[in-house]
Amino acid sequence: MRSRKMALSLNGNVVSEDAGKIHAQSDGLYHGAGCFETFKSYSGTFLRFDEHLNRLNRGIEYLTHSHAEPLNSSVIREEISDLIQSNNLSGSDAKIRIQVSIAGTNGYSVREPVQLNRVITADVYNRSASPRNLVTSSVTVVPNTSVPSDLKLSNMLHYRQAAIEAKARGADDALMLTTDGYVAETSIANLFWVTGDTVHTPSIECDILPGVMRNIVINLLEEMGLKTEQGKYQPDSILDSDFIWCTNSLMECVPVRKIDDLDFDSKSGLFTELSRELKNYKRNALQ
């Protein structure tokens, strides 16, 4: 738990978190009409910042039917920089969240001009590299035909419910399946596993959120000359694997130690090599 209050950025203005207020009857509150991005600040620098912002802008386009202006990269970077300085996080790793929601009260209609609220938060992030314990959730991912799975939309209650279920069962996170029973992702991360000489990861056909770190890892694995397959896999595929890890932009790459009642190795030569390559990649890619 935080011992001090932090500032936040509300529509470009840095204010105390107690002073950040939005209208109670906004569509963002009533209908969950919003989208967000969460990523890490490495002492004021970022990894694939524009990839995160582009996805956020695609979320805005989806929610407003192109009736709102996209966020400007240089403006958002400046707002984040001001917030990091206000919260004394310039020399620390920090969790950055950009939340955009519809400020108007149009309900199920979209009328121009669409007004947006933009809230940015920055808080200390202490990375835990401890291997994760997963349990298979009764909650499935939502099909892409219902909600675009490649966007981070505010109305993601299925992920929340899966995470709550997992923690109630004593696990760190949930292994989520598709509605037709294929391995998808966890409530917060993408999955990779090794069988023999092949690294597997669910494809976008499995209604996953294809994360920024997932894309980086796939590229690194290919550069390392490893055989990588993206596909649709039954749960037996991951349960019969040699090594498993999960990825997102905050925790980066973390091994999976257990799924349900099955234990897995939490160390791997391949994973050690991948971690080294990721470290080298960040050294050159942080901006």
- Taking only the tens place, the pLDDT of each residue in 122-138 is 999 988 889 999 999 99
pLDDT at 25: 83
Summarised one tens digit per residue, pLDDT across range 161-218 is 999 999 999 999 999 999 999 999 999 999 999 999 999 999 999 999 999 999 999 9
Q: How confident is the model at residue 147 (pLDDT cuts 50, 70, 90)?
A: very high
For residue 142, is pLDDT > 90?
A: yes
Say yes or no to pLDDT of 284 above 90. Answer: yes
Q: Which H or E run contains 161?
A: helix 157-168
Radius of gyration of the chain (CA): 19
Mean pLDDT of the chain: 94
Give the predicted TM-score (pTM) of the model.
0.94
Domains of the chain: 7-124 (3.30.470.10), 132-285 (3.20.10.10)
Whether pLDDT at 1 is above 80: no
pLDDT tens column, 78-113: 999 999 999 999 999 999 999 999 988 877 877 777
* Cβ neighbours of residue 9 closer than 8 Å, sequence gap 6 or more: 15, 79, 80, 82, 83, 118, 119, 120, 121
pLDDT tens-digit profile of 37-72? Answer: 999 999 999 999 999 999 999 999 999 998 899 999
pLDDT at 2 over 60: no
CA 147 to chain CA centroid, nearest Å: 16
Would you give the DSSP letter of residue 45?
B
pLDDT(120) > 80? yes
Contact assessment for residue 192 and residue 245, using Cβ atoms and an 8 Å cutoff: yes
Confidence of residue 3 (pLDDT cuts 50, 70, 90): low
Residue 8's pLDDT band (boundaries 50, 70, 90)?
very high
Contact 27, 107 (CB under 8 A): yes
